[in-house]
Amino acid sequence: MLFTDSYNQIQLGKLGFYRELGSKFIAYPFLVYNKKDINDKISFVKKKERSANHYCYAYILHPDSSITRANDGGEPNSSAGKPILNQLRKFELTNVLVVVVRHFGGKKLGIPGLIRSYKNATNDSLQKSIIINKKIMEQYDIEFNQEEMSFVMSFIKNNNIEIYRNLYISKNKLTINVQKNKSIDMLRLFKEKKIKILYKKIV
């Protein structure tokens, strides 16, 4: 169950940069929705930055931020992926991947230096990027008889609810997308009217 009715995601990502003791860190932010998107973007960065020594990343998926992963890319444990992930959480982002590449400068940075470098490169990227807030939408199936159609359609119109799919062949059935903050009142009203409504998913 989600306790907020909106989330942040990147609309336009900008590269982030950080240097320390000769090492160069470049952060690549991406809007992603699934594992294929993530793998494609990581492959893109690896091809673009062929001379890099490390490719470290973190991502968060879904409006409820239910999937999170961090990868240190060969750096010491929790010195790269976790600092990146923490910045994603700081900006309250989801559907986001940040890949930070490191070009080694010849001097070891130590764990504190690595944490600082991956954190600052990611922060620089997210500070520059355009981030938007999106309303969480819930999807429902509604089934109703002919006598209830006028009420249902008026409610949908008056509340600016999106009709995702309609099926009028054998029965009156709609699939709708509703802003999360409107769904409680809708459910209460439809149940009072004994209109069949079934939750499907977050969209």
* pLDDT for position 135: 86
Q: What CA–CA distance (Å, rounded) separates 72 from 79?
A: 7
CATH number for the domain running over 6-134: 3.30.230.30
Q: What H or E segment, with its residue span, contains residue 35? A: helix 35-48
Architecture in CATH for domain 136-202: 2-Layer Sandwich (3.30)
What pLDDT does residue 1 have?
40
DSSP code, position 62: S
List, in sequence order, every beta strand (DSSP E) within the chain: 6-12, 16-20, 23-31, 54-61, 67-71, 96-103, 130-135, 137-144, 162-167, 172-179, 196-202
Domain ranges of the chain: 6-134, 136-202
pLDDT at res. 201:
80
pLDDT digits (tens, 9 = 90+) for 35-89: 999 999 999 999 999 999 999 999 999 988 999 999 999 999 999 999 999 999 9
The tens digit of pLDDT for each residue in 84-115 reads 999 999 999 999 999 999 999 989 999 999 99
Residue count of the chain, please give it: 203
pLDDT band at 32 (very low <50, low <70, confident <90, very high): very high
User: Which pTM does this prediction carry?
Assistant: 0.79
Using CA atoms, how far residue 172 sits from 53, 117, 166, in Å, is 59, 58, 8
pLDDT 10s digits, 171-181: 688 888 998 88
* DSSP state string for 149-187: HHHHHHHHHHTT-EEEEEE-SSSEEEEEEEEHHHHHHHH
Confidence (pLDDT) at 57: 98
